[in-house]
Structure 1
Amino acid sequence: MMKTYSALCIAVCCMVMACTSPPKSESSESTVPTTFETTGSIERLLPELDLLIPAEAKIEVLASGFTWSEGPLWLKDQNALIFSDVPKNTVYKWTEQDSISIYLQPSGYDGDRTDKHEPGANGLALDNEGNLILCQHGNRQLAKMATSLDAPKSAFLPITSTYNGKRYNSPNDVAISKEGVYYFTDPPYGLDEWDEKELEYNGVYKMGTDGQVSLLIDSLTRPNGIALSPDERTLYVAVSDPKAAKYYAYELDIDGNITTGKILLDVTPLVGSERRGLPDGLKVDNSGNLFATGPGGVLVISPEGKHLGTIMTGQATANCGFNADKTVLYMTAHSYLMRINLKP
């Protein structure tokens, strides 16, 4: 998560009641919304983008009033989306019919301090058994919710909280392989001045099915979003450093360890322009294309590193996530929850 939200937005967005859906068309037969406000635009740089995003696609604003929205995760069985509001230590739930409700609170910090600036969960994922996995800023750990998805409670089981006896900074995002291997990033965004940083670096880690954690990368300044290619032989990492705003691709061997790496796309020249945001969360579609948040909104990047275009949200966009069949992309963009339809 990047600290790009302003004090004004925090003041405006501090109440749960502020988290509302935009105006919708009314219907006498149903309360299900049929029309949402739209915003932004689609920047089409290469024709390949037309194969992924329909010409008529619009960016819809589903809800607003959050402090810093993150970690969108689709729950297929509930036909619902959950996502984090990190400063509010809350995970919200959105459905087409009922809009916004609190799903989990607290979500990332269950301690006694009241002066943590980013206490909540950040990235969210489902493990291979369908359990909710949370990157907890406040608790400085990767954790599993101890209850089922349809009966959420703030009861957490630590998955990993230290490396070589030292506490993590603030685990940010996680990707889980089909075999149950965890890959996660650990930048310092969740630390406070009084909250001591124990590791000298901001790492990218792997936790194997045996529970052993290994440090894969310690050279990236601000590792943030992370994802696997469809064949799970490439690991993608976004770096949210304004002086080195890049997306990296690392080749993995059969044991899931890094062999080589390269810069997939450098967007540092776009930083500081009118395009808000830095590289943050990212997801990969079935063809290996990256949907990566960054300057302007969500950049669409081919597996070869070609910038196909950008979903221009007009906001500093933290993360994105697909629905079950990857025909819809949900985006957490500053104080907003948005979506756009994709081609099947």
Structure 2
Amino acid sequence: MPYFRDRAEKRQLLTLGKRETNFTITNNLNFKIMTKVVNILMVFLIMLLVSCKNDSKIDIVESTASDPFLEELSIEIYDSTATNLIDTNATFEILAKGFYWSEGPLWIDELQAVIFSDVPANKIYKWTEKDSLSIYLESAGHTGPDNSGSGEGPNGLILDQNNKLLICQHGDRQIARMDADLKNPQAQFTSIANTYNGNKFNSPNDLVMDRKGNIYFTDPPYGRPENKTGEIGINGVFKVNPEKEVSVLVDSLNRPNGIALSLDEQSLYINQSDSGNPVLYSYDIKEDGSLENGKILFDFLALSKNAKGLPDGLKVHKSGNIFTTGPGGVHIISPDGKHLAAIKTTKSTANCAFDSDQNYLYMTTTDLLIRVKLKL
């Protein structure tokens, strides 16, 4: 989730309602002075609102039919098997826009909603067909004294086996479980893992859980000062077992990022968001939970020369194919590394998620939440 690479501070247009104010004019000079004071105060208020990113208005898109950005979205098929997954004329929808860096989408059946992080804003949003966009949880990734918008908020999101929300928290540098019920979210957390060998993690980025309850997660240096490793000294891939014991699985990757399991949970897929070596790795999972036979499943270097973005979040489709973000959008890669298709967003795309029926793919694309129709 290297949102700082291409993030520019976005200024939201805030509209101030005009109010009619009745003045009793007893003196023309007093009226002019009062008018000037009011104008100065109004200008100050506008500047204050615009400069405050945490109170910026998010543009909720009710209709996407006329949005010019839709014309930039497209599907490219490279292998005929991809036509079983998506059509070249598949329908795109822009659901909401105006975020700082949208990440970590997660479909929650219980809410009939997709939730997702806005990392710099330190918030998790919720989108539903019925109610459109709303703030789901504030102070979601950094709960310290200055927790409103540290730039190090929440990132990857999953549900555990008890239907509790697990969050990669950049600011608090841990994997945490939200204690509250999904329908009544509260910024109250229990730490699942926050150190390895007594040293704090860098900035946990993305995570996945297997059927045994083991959590696999990546810990790159994003959000760290000058983008360097912290006290832990490595950019690692870790596993947390149900007893909360932490083990390091990989310590050789420069920028480990998105992570996913194959359908049979015999392979672990890891994206590396390194501009000099942007690749998707595949590792075999041994019986004891360690990894072996690491190999490059797909190399994004050639694609990165002409498109924005790097490999980031990824999800595995029920077909076994991998929907992974990468240069230019989301790429569909087969389990043996064949490039089947590309969902081209033309923007840096951070992550993606399916709904429960895999009828739609939701994509967090820089400042946007987008979805595209898939084949069932």
The reply to whether TM is greater than 0.5 is yes
Alpha-carbon distance, 1:191 to partner: 1.6
Gaps of 5+ in 2: 14-49
Q: 1:211 to 1:311 in 2, by over 3 A?
A: same
Which residue of the partner structure matches residue 96 of structure 1?
Answer: 129
Pairing partner for 2:280 from 239, 242, 247: 247
Mean alpha-carbon deviation: is it higher for 3-12 or for 86-95? 3-12
Once the two structures are TM-superposed, the CA of residue 326 in structure 1 deviates from its matched residue by 1.4
Secondary structure, counterpart of 1:18 in structure 2: coil
CA distance in 1, matches of 2:160, 2:278: 29
TM alignment of 1:154-173, pairs within 5 A: 154-173=187-206
- How far apart are residue 309 of structure 1 and its match? 1.4
Aligned to 2:208: 175
Q: Which runs of 5+ in 1 are unaligned?
A: 26-34
Of Structure 1 and Structure 2, the greater helix share is in 2
Q: Distance in 2 between matches of 1:36 and 1:199?
A: 49
Partners of 2:63 and 2:149 in 1: CA distance = 36
Aligned position for 1:28 = none
| CA distance in structure 1 between the partners assigned to 2:113 and 2:295 by the alignment | 36
Cα offset for 1:56? 2.9
Structure 2: distance between partners of 1:306 and 1:142: 33
How far does residue 116 in structure 1 lie from its aligned partner after superposition? 7.0
Deviation at 1:21, TM superposition (A): 2.6
Out of 54, 58, 61, the residue aligned to residue 22 of structure 1 is 61
Residue matched to 2:23: none
Secondary structure of the residue aligned to 2:83 is helix
Name 1:122's counterpart in structure 2. Answer: 155
Q: Deviations over 1:4-58 (max 9, x none)?
A: 3332436779355532233428xxxxxxxxx685341011111121111024312
8 A Cα contact 1:117 1:190, kept in partner: no
* 1:113-159 Cα distance to aligned partner (Å, 9 max, x none): 47975321100000011000000000000000010100100001000
> What residue in structure 1 maps to residue 43 of structure 2?
none
Q: Report the TM-score, using the length of structure 1 for normalisation.
A: 0.92
RMSD of the alignment, in Å?
2.1
Contact conserved, 2:142 with 2:150, CA < 8 A, in 1? Answer: no
Residues 1:189 and 2:222 are matched in the alignment = yes
- TM alignment of 1:320-335, pairs within 5 A: 320-335=352-367
SS at match of 2:225: coil
Distance 2:75 2:191 in 1: 40
Query: Which residue in 2 is equivalent to 1:208?
Result: 241
Pick closer, same or farther for the CA change 1:341–1:194 going to 2, 3 Å: closer
Counterpart among 106, 118, 129 of residue 139 in structure 2? 106
SS of 1:198 mapped into structure 2:
coil
Who is 1:314 aligned against? 346
What TM-score do the two structures reach when normalised by structure 2? 0.84
Q: In 2, Cα distance between the equivalents of 1:186 and 1:335?
A: 23
The answer to whether the 8 A contact 2:12-2:57 is kept is no
CA contact (8 A) 2:311 2:327 kept: yes
SS in 2 for 1:82: strand
Contact 1:5 1:68 in 2 (8 A): no
Residues 230 and 284 of structure 1 are in contact (CA less than 8 Å); yes or no, is this contact kept in structure 2? yes
| Aligned mates of 1:98, 1:286 — CA distance in 2 | 28
- 1:29 paired residue number: none
Distance 1:262 1:307 in 2: 16
Whole-angstrom distance in 2 between the partners of 1:202 and 1:264: 20
* Structure 1 residues 196 and 226: CA distance shift in structure 2, 3 A: closer
Q: Residues 1-344 of structure 1 correspond to what in structure 2 (within 5 A)?
A: 1-2=1-2, 3-9=4-10, 14=53, 18-24=57-63, 37=67, 38-39=70-71, 40-113=73-146, 118-192=151-225, 197-273=230-306, 275-344=307-376
Q: Distance in 2 between matches of 1:133 and 1:272?
A: 35
**Is the CA contact (8 Å cut-off) linking 1:142 and 1:161 kept in structure 2?**
yes
Partner AA of 2:237 in structure 1: V
Q: CA deviation at 1:287?
A: 1.8
Q: Structure 1 CA distance, aligned partners of 2:375 and 2:227?
A: 48
Instruction: Write the distance in 2 (CA, Å) between the matches of 1:310 and 1:147.
Output: 38
> CA separation of 1:313/1:138 partners in 2, compared to 1, >3 Å: closer, same or farther?
same
Deviates further, 192-201 or 258-267: 192-201
Q: Which has the larger radius of gyration?
A: 2
What is the total number of aligned residue pairs between the two structures? Answer: 334
Counterpart for residue 30 of structure 1? none
The alpha-carbon distance between structure 1 residues 194 and 252, as it changes in their structure 2 partners (threshold 3 A), is closer
Q: Is the 8 A contact 1:20 1:100 kept in 2?
A: no
Cα distance in 2 for partners of 1:9, 1:142 equals 29
- How far apart are 1:230 and its partner, in Å? 0.4
Q: Distance in 2 between matches of 1:194 and 1:342?
A: 37
Query: What percent of counterpart residues are identical?
Result: 46
